[in-house]
Structure 1
Amino acid sequence: MTTFSATQSTAGAIANDVAKTRAGSRKARYFFVGMAILFPVIAVIGFTPSYQAMNAGTLTPHWVVHIHGALMTSWLLVFLAQAILAANGNFKFHRKLGLLSVVLGVLVWLAMATVSAHALIANHPPKEDFLFDLLLMEFYAMSSFGLFFTWGIFVRKKDSAAHKRLLMLATLVLLQAAVDRIHWLPLLGIGYPYVFFLYLDTLLIPLFIYDFFSLRRIHKITLIGSGVIIMLQLSVSLIWGSPAWHQFWFNRLAPFVEKVIEVKLNDAQTDPLLGNYGDKKWHMTVSDDKGKLYLKLPDQPAFELGAISKTELFVTTILWKLYFVKGADGRVIKVINKQGPLTWEVQRLKN
Structure 2
Amino acid sequence: MATLVAPIVRKKRADDIFFTMMSVVQLTIVVVGFAPSYFLRGAVFAPLPSLVVHLHGAVFSSWIFLFVIQSSLVSAGNIRLHRKLGVLGAVIAGLMVILGILAPFGTIRRAAHLPSFFTPESFLVGNVFGIIVFGAYVAFAIWKRNNRIVHKRMMLMANAMLMSPALARMAFPVTSNGFAATIPFMAHHPFLIGVIPLAMIVALFIFDLLTQRRVLAVTLIGGILFWATDPVSDWIIARPFSHQLVLWAQHHP
TM tier relative to shorter chain? 0.7 to 0.9
Give the AA of the match of 2:244.
F
Structure 2 distance, partners of 1:52, 1:170, is 23
Aligned equivalent of 1:165, options 145, 153, 156? 153
TM-align CA RMSD: 3.0
Aligned equivalent of 2:141, options 126, 144, 152? 152
Structure 1 distance, partners of 2:16, 2:186, is 34
For the pair 1:200 / 2:189, whether they are aligned, the reply is no
Alignment partner, residue 116 of structure 1: 104
DSSP-derived class of the 2:145 partner: coil
Aligned equivalent of 2:55, options 67, 77, 88? 67
Aligned equivalent of 1:176, options 146, 160, 164? 164
Alignment partner, residue 5 of structure 2: none
Alignment partner, residue 244 of structure 2: 248
CA contact (8 A) 2:105 2:249 kept: no
For the pair 1:87 / 2:75, whether they are aligned, the reply is yes
Aligned residues: 227
Contiguous gaps of at least 5 residues in structure 1? 1-21, 258-351
Compute the displacement of 1:48 (Å).
Answer: 2.0
Give the AA of the match of 2:169.
R
Compute the displacement of 1:96 (Å).
Answer: 0.6
Aligned equivalent of 1:40, options 27, 30, 39? 27
The structure number with the bigger radius of gyration is: 1
Alignment partner, residue 93 of structure 2: 105
CA contact (8 A) 1:179 1:200 kept: no
1:123–1:212: structure 2 CA closer, same or farther, 3 Å change rule?
Answer: same
CA contact (8 A) 1:145 1:174 kept: yes
Which structure's residues are more often helix, by fraction? 2
Compute the displacement of 1:224 (Å).
Answer: 1.2
Structure 1 distance, partners of 2:123, 2:66, is 27
Compute the displacement of 1:195 (Å).
Answer: 4.9
1:84–1:62: structure 2 CA closer, same or farther, 3 Å change rule?
Answer: same
For the pair 1:143 / 2:139, whether they are aligned, the reply is no
Structure 1 distance, partners of 2:189, 2:125, is 14
Structure 1 distance, partners of 2:112, 2:49, is 16
Alignment partner, residue 288 of structure 1: none
Structure 2 distance, partners of 1:152, 1:246, is 30
1:117–1:250: structure 2 CA closer, same or farther, 3 Å change rule?
Answer: closer
1:227–1:187: structure 2 CA closer, same or farther, 3 Å change rule?
Answer: farther
Contiguous gaps of at least 5 residues in structure 2? 1-9, 173-182
Alignment partner, residue 13 of structure 2: 26
Give the alignment's TM-score, normalised by structure 2: 0.78
Considering Cα pairs closer than 8 Å and 6+ residues apart, tell me whether 1 or 2 has the greater RCO: 2
1:39-60 Cα offsets, whole Å, 9 max, x none, are 11111121123248958xx974
Alignment partner, residue 224 of structure 2: 227
Aligned equivalent of 2:187, options 173, 186, 189? 189
1:179–1:255: structure 2 CA closer, same or farther, 3 Å change rule?
Answer: closer
CA contact (8 A) 2:56 2:100 kept: yes
1:71–1:90: structure 2 CA closer, same or farther, 3 Å change rule?
Answer: same
1:145–1:246: structure 2 CA closer, same or farther, 3 Å change rule?
Answer: closer
Structure 2 distance, partners of 1:27, 1:250, is 46
Structure 1 distance, partners of 2:194, 2:145, is 28
1:61–1:155: structure 2 CA closer, same or farther, 3 Å change rule?
Answer: same
Structure 1 distance, partners of 2:18, 2:189, is 33
Structure 1 distance, partners of 2:54, 2:250, is 26
1:187–1:40: structure 2 CA closer, same or farther, 3 Å change rule?
Answer: closer
Compute the displacement of 1:180 (Å).
Answer: 1.4
1:244-275 Cα offsets, whole Å, 9 max, x none, are 24532144346525xxxxxxxxxxxxxxxxxx
